[in-house]
């Protein structure tokens, strides 16, 4: 971890399943984020993983899966492979998309000036502000959203698809969001057309779109 000037404040090395090898605090700071987004409970040494706790020393959960066999036959397993699978809720695993990367939402520009106030979710359409509120309360994780498609314009990431998801992340002050860098030439034409229709330059805009 570094400060805004690049000075190292905290550093740590881990084994494959999250066991800490060494931790160095260069400044008096408490950094509790751990393996695959888990949160360290310093009293027990366990990692909080939403629905149950994870023991990094053995690479297993300390409680059986709350959803039983629906999460797999091994009720205490984190994932079959810690590099390509994750279990963000402590319920069931998800395979990582090798093309997805996590970035700070502030590092991505928008490609339009307005967005729809109705946001599509698995439960149906919801008002964007209500989703923002849920993210702020911790009821929803931005990293659980489908990855937004972005274009790298001279080093600046700009949304091709997912302006609403980015707007939620920015308004909720989320630290990370999943993105996939677009390479499909046909879709890049659609991207440039959207920028042109919104009166924006190729690098988009940092201004959060207005809901309509």
List where CATH 3.90.1530 sits in the chain: 100-211
Is the torsion defined by CA of 176, 99, 145, 116 positive or negative? positive
Q: Which pLDDT tens digit goes with each residue over 123-140?
A: 789 999 999 999 999 888
pTM of the model: 0.58
Confidence of residue 117 (pLDDT cuts 50, 70, 90): very high
Confidence of residue 95 (pLDDT cuts 50, 70, 90): low
Element (H, E) at 14: strand 10-14
What fold is seen in the domain 100-211? Answer: 3.90.1530
Confidence of residue 96 (pLDDT cuts 50, 70, 90): low
């Amino acid at each position: 971890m570094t400060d805004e000037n690049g000075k190292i404040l905290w550093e740590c090395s881990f084994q494959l399943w999250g066991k800490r090898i060494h931790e160095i605090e260069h400044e008096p700071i408490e950094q509790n984020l751990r393996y695959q987004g888990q949160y360290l409970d310093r009293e027990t040494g366990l990692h909080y993983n939403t629905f149950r706790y994870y023991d990094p020393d053995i690479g297993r959960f300390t409680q059986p899966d709350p959803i039983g066999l629906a999460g797999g036959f091994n009720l205490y397993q984190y994932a079959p492979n810690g590099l390509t699978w994750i279990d963000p809720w402590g319920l069931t695993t998800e395979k990582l998309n090798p093309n997805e990367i996590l970035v700070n939402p502030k590092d991505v520009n928008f490609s339009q000036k307005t967005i729809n106030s109705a946001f599509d979710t698995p439960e149906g359409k919801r008002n964007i502000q209500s989703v923002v509120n849920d993210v702020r309360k911790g009821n929803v994780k931005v990293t659980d959203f489908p990855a937004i498609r972005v274009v790298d314009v001279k080093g600046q990431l700009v949304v091709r698809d997912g302006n609403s998801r980015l707007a939620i992340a920015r308004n909720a002050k989320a630290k990370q969001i999943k993105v996939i860098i677009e390479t499909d030439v046909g879709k890049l034409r659609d991207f440039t057309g959207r920028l042109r229709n919104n009166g924006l330059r190729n690098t988009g805009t940092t201004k959060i779109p207005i809901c309509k």
